[in-house]
Chain A
Amino acid sequence: MTKSKIVSYSINLAAALAVYLVFHFLFSSRIVSRTLIDLFTLCCVFATAAVSLNLSTGLLGELNLGHAGFMSVGAYTAALITLAAGRSGNVGILLLSLLAGGLTATLSALVIGIPVLRLRGDYLAITTLAFGEIVKVLMRSMKITGGGQPLTGIALDTTYTIGYWVLIITLIAIYTLIRSRHGRAIISIREDDIAAEACGVSVTKYKLFAFAFSAFFAGIAGGLYAHYAGVLEPSFFDYNQSVNFMVMVVFGGIGSLTGSVLSAFFLTLLPEFLRGIDAYRTLIYSVILILLMHYRPSGLLGQRELSQRGIARIFRRERLDAQPISGVGGGRAIERENIPASGSAERKADSALRDRTGASSGTPEEPLERRMKGRR
């Protein structure tokens, strides 16, 4: 691990801790109402689910319409474990049950993935949808999951602390995954599976891997939800819920993890504050989706991330832009011409290349400038 990486990781962790402390202060000082704290927790749960869906939809590039099914598997497993353990308020047991929920979801992803991941596109999407329906039916018919009745009496153990840190851990895990060689293999499948195969990437293996990885965190999100709601109903985890998560992913930016977090928070909070539009929510969502696909198919953030590097870049760019451009003819302006300014053709070509190659935040800016200088 290089030094700059260590620095950037510790900055990000410190930022996460700072955000947590701010919320912790707000929530413990009774300034904020109980409902808002619960909402924050729910946002964290949904953000975890959306981020994990982004791995299979945004980074692997396959539409997964059964994400709520994986969540359902995880939710029921975790709930049954804590119900059997019978002690509420025990964080250790909760974390264990979350882990078990994640693992069963992974297992179900492997079972379903081996036959299904040979398919592509529409076929895969419909089959994952079928998986979600099968899970729903199974949960309704098995005695242990309540047999058609909702599963009740689950301890309300998901606090905002647990929700927040699970979300952070999920982000770290998926972020480090996509930065590793395995992550690059997964992204190469999204870009061109035939070329990836030709380069020696085992497409089926990596598809299954990404699918299982994404299901693991979906299962954990499900476990969190179970201990947030206290009641589980199979119909909660239906097709519409999967589409909900997909809207979060698409809205935030297909392939942008922080984008998913932001849009999950936004889309969970919005209906709470605008009660009146709740009836029209799905209608508005569908229109937003169609418009997004037409005018900004990669989502609002695209593949960019909200990171300390990105923020630093924005500041740097502002400084560049703040310099008077009117000074054409002066020595400085000639010097500046070498650096592609934002909006110039070169920068555009570079960002288009970046969009296509799937390399996300931060990295291209500095090397590009260095490259440009080195050439002269």
Chain B
Amino acid sequence: MTAAYSIYFFITLLKIPFIPATLLAMLLSMALGMLIERLAYRRLRAASRLSALITAIAVSLFLQTGYATLFSPDPRAFPVTAASFPVFHLGEVSLSSWTLITIAVAIAVMILLQLFVTRHKAGKAMLVVSEDVKGAYLMGIKVNSIISMTFAIGSALAAIAAALFIVSYPQITPYMGAMPGIKAFIAAVLGGIGLIPGAMLGGFLLGLIETMTRAYIPSSLSQLSEGVVFIVLILVLLLKPAGLLGKSEREKV
């Protein structure tokens, strides 16, 4: 959401073209993510899980309502839309090049992230920290800077997602991020938490499921399609809690 607003303001106020605006927004999001981590989360690292969760909710509320009071809660139209990209025709099917760009960017991001996590030293350190903070500390990993870096990467990727999103659905509101955020989480659970290809697969599947229900469900029940993703979540948790690609592990004490 904040990235969407930054892109919007870069384009409308500073007249920066779309792609540099997105890159700038990524930098801004990184800074914001690291700032939030420093101010809100770092002190709570030793605190209970409940405190951390409540803080996370409070931060998202703060950002949303903060933007709503600063820039008014009314939706704004985004100037760049998918219609401004050329359309391919393959027989009966017409395909916007923007759709292809979206898919390509998503796959590229996934591959880069996967490589970073499995090959790069910092990425591996990230996995170690998530496994065992104390152990990582003893192994000489700078836990704070690794977590800070994770927030930076996550925020930057969220900015890319925002750029992809607002061109497809060219409307910006302070609360636009809430639903995609939850769906992103569901996609991650569906594919298997902690697995980057799994998250990708989960995301694609979730999108397909949602679109299909919207298309094939009788219009009198059209409201139901909004709930379908949540039913998917509960089904996954019931049938395969580790996710589609995840291996189920027995919990050790």
Where the two chains meet, the residues of A that have a C-beta atom closer than 8 Å to any C-beta of B are: 57, 61, 63, 65, 112, 115-116, 118-119, 121-123, 125-127, 129-131, 133-134, 137-138, 140-141, 148, 194, 239, 243, 246, 250, 254, 279-280, 282-283, 285-287, 289-290, 293-294, 297
Check if B58 sits within 8 Å of A115, measured CB to CB. no
User: In whole angstroms, what is the CA distance A294 to B189 when docked?
Assistant: 29
B186 / chain A contacts, CB cutoff of 8 Å: 126, 130
Check if B233 sits within 8 Å of A290, measured CB to CB. no
Check if B182 sits within 8 Å of A140, measured CB to CB. no
Check if B224 sits within 8 Å of A285, measured CB to CB. no
Minimum CB distance partner of B228 in chain A: A137
Check if B69 sits within 8 Å of A279, measured CB to CB. yes
Given A134-B230, A243-B61, A290-B58, 12 extra CB contacts under 8 A: A116-B234, A122-B49, A138-B224, A141-B221, A194-B253, A282-B61, A289-B54, A289-B57, A290-B40, A290-B59, A294-B55, A297-B47
Minimum CB distance partner of B232 in chain A: A130
Check if A116 sits within 8 Å of B227, measured CB to CB. no
User: In whole angstroms, what is the CA distance A126 to B234 when docked?
Assistant: 10
B224's partner among A121, A141, A194, A254 (CB-CB below 8 A) is A141
B61 to chain A, nearest CB (A): 4
Closest 8 CB pairs of A and B: A137-B227, A289-B58, A130-B230, A286-B62, A286-B61, A141-B223, A115-B238, A282-B65
User: In whole angstroms, what is the CA distance A293 to B47 when docked?
Assistant: 9
* B window 31-60: CB within 8 A of A: 40, 43-44, 47-51, 53-55, 57-59
A138 / chain B contacts, CB cutoff of 8 Å: 224, 227
User: In whole angstroms, what is the CA distance A282 to B174 when docked?
Assistant: 13
Contacts A/B (CB < 8 Å), 29 sampled: A57-B50, A61-B50, A63-B53, A63-B54, A112-B234, A115-B237, A119-B241, A121-B53, A123-B189, A123-B237, A127-B234, A130-B182, A131-B234, A133-B226, A141-B224, A148-B223, A194-B253, A254-B50, A282-B65, A283-B69, A285-B58, A286-B59, A289-B55, A290-B58, A290-B59, A293-B44, A293-B47, A297-B47, A297-B48
B181 to chain A, nearest CB (A): 10
B44 / chain A contacts, CB cutoff of 8 Å: 293-294
Q: Does B207 contact A (CB under 8 A)?
A: no
Check if A293 sits within 8 Å of B58, measured CB to CB. yes
* B window 69-94: CB within 8 A of A: 69
User: In whole angstroms, what is the CA distance A338 to B63 when docked?
Assistant: 52
User: In whole angstroms, what is the CA distance A129 to B185 when docked?
Assistant: 12
Where the two chains meet, the residues of B that have a C-beta atom closer than 8 Å to any C-beta of A are: 40, 43-44, 47-51, 53-55, 57-59, 61-62, 64-66, 69, 178, 182, 185-186, 189, 220-224, 226-227, 230-231, 233-234, 237-238, 241, 253
B226's partner among A121, A137, A194 (CB-CB below 8 A) is A137
Contacts A286-B62, A286-B65, A287-B62; A126 near B185 (Cβ below 8 A) = yes
User: In whole angstroms, what is the CA distance A121 to B221 when docked?
Assistant: 33
A110 to chain B, nearest CB (A): 14
A259 to chain B, nearest CB (A): 15
A243 / chain B contacts, CB cutoff of 8 Å: 57, 61
A280's partner among B69, B182, B234, B238 (CB-CB below 8 A) is B69
A127 / chain B contacts, CB cutoff of 8 Å: 233-234, 237
B243 to chain A, nearest CB (A): 11
A192 to chain B, nearest CB (A): 11
A61 to chain B, nearest CB (A): 6
B241 / chain A contacts, CB cutoff of 8 Å: 118-119
Check if B227 sits within 8 Å of A134, measured CB to CB. yes
A83 to chain B, nearest CB (A): 22
B58 to chain A, nearest CB (A): 4
Check if A121 sits within 8 Å of B227, measured CB to CB. no
Check if A130 sits within 8 Å of B55, measured CB to CB. no
The interface centre, meaning the residue of A65, A112, A287 with most chain B CB atoms within 10 A of its CB, is A287
B213 to chain A, nearest CB (A): 12
A294 / chain B contacts, CB cutoff of 8 Å: 43-44, 55
B65 / chain A contacts, CB cutoff of 8 Å: 280, 282-283, 286
A126 / chain B contacts, CB cutoff of 8 Å: 182, 185-186, 233
User: In whole angstroms, what is the CA distance A113 to B232 when docked?
Assistant: 16
A270 to chain B, nearest CB (A): 17
Contacts A134-B231, A148-B223; A290 near B50 (Cβ below 8 A) = no
User: In whole angstroms, what is the CA distance A251 to B12 when docked?
Assistant: 41
Minimum CB distance partner of B230 in chain A: A130
Check if B53 sits within 8 Å of A122, measured CB to CB. yes
Minimum CB distance partner of B224 in chain A: A141
Minimum CB distance partner of B178 in chain A: A239
User: In whole angstroms, what is the CA distance A115 to B51 when docked?
Assistant: 25
Contacts A283-B65, A289-B54; A131 near B223 (Cβ below 8 A) = no
Check if B223 sits within 8 Å of A140, measured CB to CB. yes
B61 / chain A contacts, CB cutoff of 8 Å: 243, 282, 285-286, 289
A134 / chain B contacts, CB cutoff of 8 Å: 227, 230-231
B62 / chain A contacts, CB cutoff of 8 Å: 283, 286-287, 290
B177 to chain A, nearest CB (A): 13
B51 / chain A contacts, CB cutoff of 8 Å: 293, 297
User: In whole angstroms, what is the CA distance A114 to B11 when docked?
Assistant: 49
Minimum CB distance partner of B179 in chain A: A133
Check if A293 sits within 8 Å of B230, measured CB to CB. no
A189 to chain B, nearest CB (A): 13
User: In whole angstroms, what is the CA distance A148 to B223 when docked?
Assistant: 9
A118 / chain B contacts, CB cutoff of 8 Å: 237, 241
B106 to chain A, nearest CB (A): 22
A65 / chain B contacts, CB cutoff of 8 Å: 57
User: In whole angstroms, what is the CA distance A137 to B226 when docked?
Assistant: 7
B227 / chain A contacts, CB cutoff of 8 Å: 133-134, 137-138
